[in-house]
Chains A and B, each alone.
Chain A
Amino acid sequence: MRSFGLNEIWYMLQATQWTLYLSILTFVLGGSVGFFIALARCSRSRLLRAISGLYIQIFQSTPLLMQLFLIFFGLSLIGFRLPVLVAGSIALTFWASAFLGEIWRGCIEAVPEQQTEAADSLALTPWQQLRYVILPQASKIALPPTIGFFVQIIKNTSLTSIIGVTELMRASTNMNNATFEPMKVLAVASLIYFATCYPLSLISRKLENKLNVDH
């Protein structure tokens, strides 16, 4: 039987990079989709609003674990033999885009109506209004909750270990099976997660407080 030592911790740290890659990938892809979801939620077309609303509702009202399973089994059903990493990131992207879309919708709506009206009277096109008036103000409000949600993404990448992605959580389970020392292994795993997430949470809170003072 292996004992839990520096080599095992090193192995877990190496697996942590996959947690980070997966988180960043999810954030970038989910953010890109989520941006359009947010715009659709705020659009003037009722149909677009309804569709994006349903999209958000579906992904916010079902467990992420189920979304992972459905994508994982669904893709292989259609005939795609994709690595679990790809299936995992697709599911996480859907999930993250729904949440980010809803967060950013709130931020866009937080920009006062008069701003749009003023931009309208300056004869800016809708795109120009968005680009030069709404988004610069909305992005300032959006920064703290977005960083907060990034922490959620990092934590939830741990669920991909259940379908077999080798990231930090999976590596911990492997180490646990090899050494039978769950307390030590899980303590190290939680410390790594904490060390990654806590600074981000602090930054998010600092920015939020600053925003509250400014307004």
Chain B
Amino acid sequence: MDIVFQFGPVFKRMDLIIDGVTMTIQVALLSTFLGFLIGIICARIRIEGSKKAKFVVACYVEFIRNTPFLVQLFMFAFGLPQFVALLGFNIRPSPYYLAIIALSINLGAYSTEIIRAGLEAIPKSQIEAAQGLALTPFQIFSRISLPPAIAKVYPALSSQFILHMLGTSVISTISVQELTLSAGRIQSETFRAFESYFIVTAIYFALAIAFRIIFKLAARFALPWLHKTTNRS
């Protein structure tokens, strides 16, 4: 049997692929921003929150880290609308927003653990010195603890981002028009399943490599800046 690969028909739908790439990057960046925000807040609670708050955050982190993302996504995609309807509201959020919520909450749990590790590595003496200078707790956290903590776990955070970006392919299951769904649509139009997925996989690969390079370059500027912030305060 001869196998003939026909990439031509797939390349004809480049518009779909470009839309997909844009959506994938957009979703990844937006949910990463929200996820890291959740991570920073929860990491702070895990370190200096009340006992109850610590327990709640621990439950959140453990629950998310020990269940598949697909289940979490379906919970937000199918469970949340049902829940909202039970409460008597007649809102149907679009899959796009539901996916962003699910992705952010998922990444939030993973980044909580990473950022907490960074915060724990900050010497106590620094915080005591800041307290001696009568900085408010918020100032101490945002200017003394957080910047060097982020700098310390920067490699872990950036590789978490790559994993997260690749993981966004799963949101195609609730029909968000991102890269994986583009491949699905091209496949159903051209009947060239293998070729469609092959090209899209190559694009994911290129994206991962590109982001890795960007993070390496950004480290040169971001890391000294994060350290300088601390020294200045």
Chain A interface (Cβ < 8 Å from any Cβ of B): 58, 60-67, 69-70, 73-74, 77-79, 151, 155-156, 158-159, 161-162, 169, 172-173, 176, 181-183, 186-187, 189-190, 193-194, 197-198, 201
Known: A61-B166, A151-B66, A186-B78. A78 touches B3 (CB 8 A): yes
Q: Mark B60-95, 1 if CB is under 8 A from A, else 0.
A: 001101111111101100110011000000000000
Whether B197 pairs with A61 at a CB distance below 8 angstroms is no
Interchain Cβ contacts under 8 Å between A and B, 7 examples: A63-B167, A65-B180, A66-B201, A158-B68, A161-B70, A169-B71, A194-B66
Closest A residue to B75 by CB, please name it: A186
Please determine whether A201 and B194 come into contact, CB atoms closer than 8 angstroms.
Answer: no
Q: A162's closest neighbor in chain B, by CB? A: B173
Q: Do the beta carbons of B208 and A61 come within 8 Å of each other?
A: yes
Interface residues of B (CB under 8 A from A): 1, 3, 62-63, 65-72, 74-75, 78-79, 82-83, 162, 166-167, 169-170, 172-173, 180, 183, 193-194, 197-198, 200-201, 204-205, 208-209
With A69-B197, A73-B193, A190-B75 known to touch, is A197 a contact of B1 (CB < 8 Å)? no
Q: How far is the CA of A148 from the CA of B102 in the complex (A)?
A: 23
Partner of A70, one of B66, B67, B74, B194: B194
**B62: chain A residues within 8 A (beta carbon):** 198, 201
Main secondary structure of the interface of B (DSSP, over half): helix
- Chain B residues within 8 Å of A201, by CB: 62, 65-66
- Supposing A158-B68, A197-B67 touch, asked if A61 and B204 sit within 8 A by C-beta, the answer is yes
CA distance in complex: A57, B79 (Å): 36
| Closest A residue to B187 using CB positions | A73
Contact B70 A159 (CB under 8 A): yes
Contacts of B170 in A (CB 8 A): 63, 65, 159
Q: Decide: B79 and A183 in contact? CB cutoff 8 A.
A: yes
Q: Is the CB of B209 within 8 A of A61?
A: yes
Contact between A61 and B205, CB atoms less than 8 A apart: yes
A15 vs chain B, min Cβ distance (A): 13
Interface majority SS (helix, strand, loop, mixed), chain A: helix
A169 touches B68 (CB 8 A): yes
From A62, A186, A193, B79 is in contact (CB under 8 Å) with A186
Instruction: Knowing A182-B78, A183-B82, A197-B67 are in contact, say whether A66-B209 is a contact too (CB < 8 A).
Output: no
Closest residue to A74 on the B side, CB-wise?
A: B194
- Tell me the complex Cα distance, A172–B75, Å: 11
Report B28 CB to chain A, min CB distance, Å: 12
Within the complex, which residue of B1, B67, B169 is in contact with A155, where a contact is CB–CB below 8 Å?
B67
Other than the known A61-B166, A151-B66, what 17 A-B pairs have Cβ atoms closer than 8 Å?
A: A58-B205, A61-B209, A63-B170, A65-B172, A66-B169, A67-B201, A70-B194, A159-B70, A172-B71, A183-B75, A183-B83, A186-B75, A190-B75, A193-B71, A197-B66, A197-B67, A201-B66
Contacts of A173 in B (CB 8 A): 74
8 Å CB contact of A66 from B69, B83, B162, B200: B200
**B75 x A198 contact (CB < 8 A):** no
Expressed in whole angstroms, the Cα–Cα distance for A74 and B187 within the complex equals 13
> Hey, which chain A residues are within 8 Å of B197, CB to CB?
66, 69-70, 73
